[in-house]
């Protein structure tokens, strides 16, 4: 199968843009499966309005990248922004050189430059991609997309919906509102105004009547924690944050914080024209409507588990991480100056990073060893804590019962402490941060070093 994607309109855009011109490879031996052109583009989110977004290939939603478990995928990134960028593959356990973090893993991709990413996904499931520079703006203005890794043996679903959730910071005419304010950054983050699935307000998708449907929710928003429920009381959780769970369970409701994903399995009604709606609290997000099909007696297939290394808890070392506000800091001074190092991890705020200045790691981990992270949220706000290059096994919480599960992003509720283990099996310097983008920009970011 030829997975090369060229999106004509984005080529045109590239030609007419006043930004640095890039000559695009068009011959089949160019050596990549996907090409992502990062460039400004006007997109339509609200009816009749135009949004001056930042885009992959000239539009929104961004192209869905489909890779295959255990098979290499090559993605060329062409930077046509007027600022540097890098692309991070969220949730992928891949070598550090492909992790897409400026200075820790690669030099920034400068305007007009191209960078080829190549990696082999060890895990199958729902992942995503986004820049790791100037994140409030680059992600907030649309540089977010789905990366779906298909199982080595494809499970037998009749439809597979990829749903990127984002509440755009835009007015009714499509123009942007503030992506951040200091007051919000020091609290829960700045909420957007227009709730979308794949860039549309409450879309309806057709699904085959009677079919086994896979519904993948990906929270690509900067701020909002979605609380998802369904009008189908039989909807099953089949995977959390990319990783299938051993025992699928009924949805009820589920919190999906920024960076997190949720895969559901539903058996569509065998009657034509029936609907199922998924909601955030009581607001409809997306509706599925059945159309004629010959399917019957379908069941949800079982997903194979991902090969996440099993932690060796007996010989594990415990490391405590405290997430706090810096109480000694006045976030906004009388003269109006803002102190942007507000959130702390073990009493440290992220000190910034440049080629010649890489701060010390928050922790040094020995290659191959198991660590138990005690993640203590000492604040009254929730924080989704994300680690790069590794997958946690979440074991316990002081606030709720936990059936152990795998994730790259652990959501901590207010004053919650979670115990999560990981095997430090991937050498490198790995980012470790809150995925509320304004929090990571105001200090809530660090890294661990595995060697």
What minimum distance in Å lies between the beta carbon of 134 and ligand C2O? 13
- Radius of gyration, CA atoms only, the chain: 21
90 binds ligand C2O (CB under 6 A): yes
434 binds Cu ion (CB under 5 A): yes
Q: How far is residue 413's CA from residue 432's CA, in Å, rounded to a whole number? A: 18
214 binds ligand C2O (CB under 6 A): no
436 binds Cu ion (CB under 5 A): yes
What minimum distance in Å lies between the beta carbon of 60 and ligand C2O? 18
434 binds ligand C2O (CB under 6 A): no
Only one of the segments 56-64, 229-237, 323-331, 428-436 lies at the binding site for ligand C2O (rule: CB under 6 A); that segment is: 428-436
Backbone angles phi, psi at 265, to 5 degrees: -115, 130
**Beta-carbon contacts of residue 143 (< 8 Å; ≥ 6 apart):** 38, 54, 55, 56, 62, 85, 130, 131
261 binds ligand C2O (CB under 6 A): no
Q: By rule CB under 6 A, what count of residues binds ligand C2O?
A: 10
Q: Which helix (H) or strand (E) holds 10?
A: helix 8-16
Cα 327 vs. chain centroid, distance in angstroms?
30
Q: How far is residue 243's CA from residue 69's CA, in Å, rounded to a whole number? A: 13
**Beta-carbon contacts of residue 8 (< 8 Å; ≥ 6 apart):** none
Q: How far is residue 365's CA from residue 329's CA, in Å, rounded to a whole number? A: 30
Taking CB atoms, the residue at the shortest distance from ligand C2O is 90
Q: Are 222 and 228 in contact (CB under 8 A)?
A: no
Site string for ligand C2O, 366-395 (x = CB under 6 A): --------------------x-x-------
Backbone angles phi, psi at 59, to 5 degrees: -150, -175
What minimum distance in Å lies between the beta carbon of 146 and ligand C2O? 13
446 binds ligand C2O (CB under 6 A): no
Chain residues 114-143 in contact with ligand C2O, contact rule CB under 6 A:
130, 132
What minimum distance in Å lies between the beta carbon of 100 and ligand C2O? 9
Nearer to ligand C2O, 99 or 232 (CB): 99
Q: Which of 125, 189, 211, 259 binds ligand C2O (CB under 6 A)?
A: 259
Q: Which of 75, 78, 133, 431 binds ligand C2O (CB under 6 A)?
A: 431
Tokens of 426: 């991937």
Chain residues 362-421 in contact with Cu ion, contact rule CB under 5 A:
383
Nearer to ligand C2O, 222 or 393 (CB): 222
Q: How far is residue 345's CA from residue 349's CA, in Å, rounded to a whole number? A: 6
264 binds ligand C2O (CB under 6 A): no
Site string for Cu ion, 414-433 (x = CB under 5 A): --------------------
Q: Where are the beta strands (DSSP E) in 133-235?
A: 145-150, 159-168, 194-197, 204-208, 212-219, 226-230
Strand arrangement of the beta sheet that strand 114-119 belongs to: 51-56, 34-43, 73-79, 114-119
* Interface ranges with Cu ion (CB under 5 A): 383, 434, 436, 439
Residues found near ligand C2O in the complex (CB under 6 A): 88, 90, 130, 132, 259, 386, 388, 431, 433, 435
């Amino acid at each position: 199968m030829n997975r090369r994607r060229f999106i004509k309109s984005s080529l045109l855009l590239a030609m007419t843009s006043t930004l640095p011109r890039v000559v695009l490879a068009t011959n089949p031996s160019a050596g990549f499966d996907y090409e992502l052109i990062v460039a400004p583009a006007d997109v339509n989110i609200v009816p009749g309005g135009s949004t001056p977004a930042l885009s992959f290939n000239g539009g929104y939603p961004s192209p869905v990248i489909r890779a295959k478990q255990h098979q290499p995928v090559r993605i060329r990134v062409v930077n046509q922004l007027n600022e540097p960028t890098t692309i991070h593959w969220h949730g992928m356990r891949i070598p550090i050189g492909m992790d897409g973090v400026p200075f820790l893993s690669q030099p920034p991709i400068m305007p007009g430059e191209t960078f080829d990413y190549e990696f082999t996904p060890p895990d199958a499931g729902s992942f995503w991609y986004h820049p790791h520079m100037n994140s409030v703006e680059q992600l907030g203005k649309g540089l977010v997309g789905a990366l779906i890794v298909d199982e080595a043996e494809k499970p037998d679903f009749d439809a597979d919906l990829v749903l990127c959730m984002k509440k755009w910071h835009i007015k009714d005419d499509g123009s942007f509102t503030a992506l951040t304010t200091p007051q919000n950054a020091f609290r829960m983050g700045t909420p957007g105004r227009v709730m979308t699935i794949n860039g549309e307000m409450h879309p309806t998708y057709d699904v085959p009547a009677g079919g086994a449907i896979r519904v993948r929710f990906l929270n690509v928003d900067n701020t909002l924690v979605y609380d998802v429920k369904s009008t189908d009381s039989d909807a099953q959780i089949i995977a959390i944050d990319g990783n299938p769970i051993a025992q699928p369970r009924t949805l009820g409701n589920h919190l999906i914080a920024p960076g997190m994903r949720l895969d559901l399995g539903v058996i569509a009604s065998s009657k034509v024209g029936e609907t199922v709606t998924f909601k955030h609290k009581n607001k409809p997000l997306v509706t599925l409507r059945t159309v004629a099909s010959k399917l019957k007696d379908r069941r949800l297939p079982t997903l194979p588990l991902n090969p996440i290394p099993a932690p060796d808890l007996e010989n594990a070392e415990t490391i405590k991480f405290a997430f706090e506000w810096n109480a000694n800091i006045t976030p906004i001074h009388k003269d109006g100056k803002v102190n942007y190092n507000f959130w702390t991890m073990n009493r440290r705020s992220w000190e910034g990073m440049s080629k010649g200045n890489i701060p010390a790691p928050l922790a040094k981990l020995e290659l191959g060893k198991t660590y138990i992270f005690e993640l203590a949220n000492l604040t009254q706000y929730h924080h989704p804590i994300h680690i790069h290059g590794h997958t946690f096994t979440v074991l316990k919480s002081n606030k709720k019962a936990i059936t152990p599960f795998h994730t790259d992003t652990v959501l901590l509720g207010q004053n919650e402490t979670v115990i999560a283990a990981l095997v430090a099996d991937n050498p490198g310097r790995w980012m470790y941060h809150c995925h509320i983008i304004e929090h990571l920009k105001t200090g809530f970011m660090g890294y661990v070093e595995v060697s």
